[in-house]
Structure 1
Amino acid sequence: MPWCSREEIREVSNDAQQIYDAIRHGRLIIHAHAHDGWTTVAVGTYLDGPSIHLHGENHLRTETTQYDNPATAIAEFERLYGDAVRPGPATATSTERHAEQARTLLASGAADAQPPLATAESVEMRAARADDHEALLKDFLESHGEWEKWRIWSDETTHAVHESLVLRAEFVHEAGPDDTQWRIAAYESPVGERLWHATASATVPVEIMRVLLDSLASEDAAKIAAGSQVSEAAISEATRPLADIGWEHTVDGRWIRWQAPADHLSGVQFDAFAAQSPHSPLPAWTFWGGGAADTPGWTLHFSPHAAASVLQDVAFEVAHGLTQRQLESRSRRLNALSRPDIRAQPAPRAGSARSR
């Protein structure tokens, strides 16, 4: 901001900090985001105030327009940014992730630990980068003969299509960390209407995507494609693995949220408003992890009528698989820190070995 005075810079940064705090503490709910070619833009609603459009990232984030209701704000946002619109908040920037990590360490009193223990966020983010989604796609197609690989005119995207043509998975090869890499779609018939869909960011841990793909291939394709009606029974079935492992849920207006216990940075959210609005671009289900709820390292979204069996399989992996891997990683790190340094031990003197 070279055109701003020092006082104006402070004012802009202070406003950006207030916006960030409102998002982090759940006072400002982000409905959707997009990239306008230069920076990130978003649309959200204050719990006790207006709906707004946001422009920019980090200390440059500003409020640009206010609206009386979410529907008007979202409709105008879609008109302005079209196909670039993505549901939910944008993936946390590196600055936001570093700030959240520092805050977590300070809150736990571990800021002075040498070396610091790996947090759940760092464990999940490393796993997401190390795992090979390209290999996952290749393995899935090789092990499920009823799915066929299709390439379109562009080499940027590969489609995995079930032989019934009612289930399809789209994979974007060069997706950036903040972009959607997987798109799942279920159709009424080979030429029928889309019944439900899912999207996954490029940072989703590969084991979660493996479970999702295997779940699509585990039952009759037509049954999976038909999906499930939105009902209390379907919600209960989809989230049973979370309840079984002790995740607590809260109801906040239109949202039901399940939060992982202790310091495991993952959760699930159900949006009742989006579930009752089939044409809304907002997801009904959001699985997230790798950071706080408002600054997740990865997100996985499902539309209202997603098959409850698929949701349940994903919920089980999020609740049990990631938690177990985090505990194992933490245990290995603790063992490494407590293991004596063999090099520091004095060499045994000749003849000091005990006879047997």
Structure 2
Amino acid sequence: MATTPAINAHVHLDTHLTHPSAVTATLTGSQAHIPLQGLEAADWHIVAENTLVLARIDHEEPYWAEKAAQHLAADGITVEITPRLQKAIDEEWTWADYPMPWCTRTEIREVSVEAQKIYDDIRHGRLLIHAHAEDSHTTVAVGTYLDSGKSVHLHGENHLRQVTETFDSPARALVSFERFHGDTMRLGPAPMTDTERAATEARTSLGAPTTAPEPPGPGPETVPAYAADPGDHDALLDEFLGTHGN
């Protein structure tokens, strides 16, 4: 019975030197291009030859780094995780003053994943932001997905940004947005948050950041194993969106 030949590649995963939650991957071996292409497809960014960085806006990089390590190992690639990264992977934490305290840790991550998708769609040019405005100490925006033509209203920043309403055309979305936010409406996307700026710096350099990264609002706090009270989480989430949405 034929066996799959071993892949001559080694992946060294570690925490970023200057951006606490970001993760670096250093690749060696004659077939290092194999894990490189896999990591790049998973939105890791090349910052130097055979060196990549995973930088997100939800501080969940250690979790996704562990998932990447599992996939690479399953493909026969040798993966090393440093003790300090393993400590970050094992750490249990949640956001301080999180506005949806009923959510379990898994549900908090689901909200963050959706926010990350919106951020990535904007950053990669898939979601064109037409205008933004201030709304109760946060940012709201209106934009259109270029592939589908669907227009959306967005509410929140960083790991809390969500789609609150969808429209069939940019015109309808803009008219509705201006009706609610005309007083503070500004054309184009909002300026980057401190968290977005820190993620950008981490993706482009392994050196010291030009500005000190700040968490979006109250940052993560270490807690015991997260246990949410029983309840209808979907209904509560709908209530939150109804209260804070446009």
**TM-score using structure 2 length:** 0.43
Larger Rg: 1
**TM-score under structure 1 length normalisation:** 0.30
Higher relative contact order (CA 8 A, sep 6+): 2
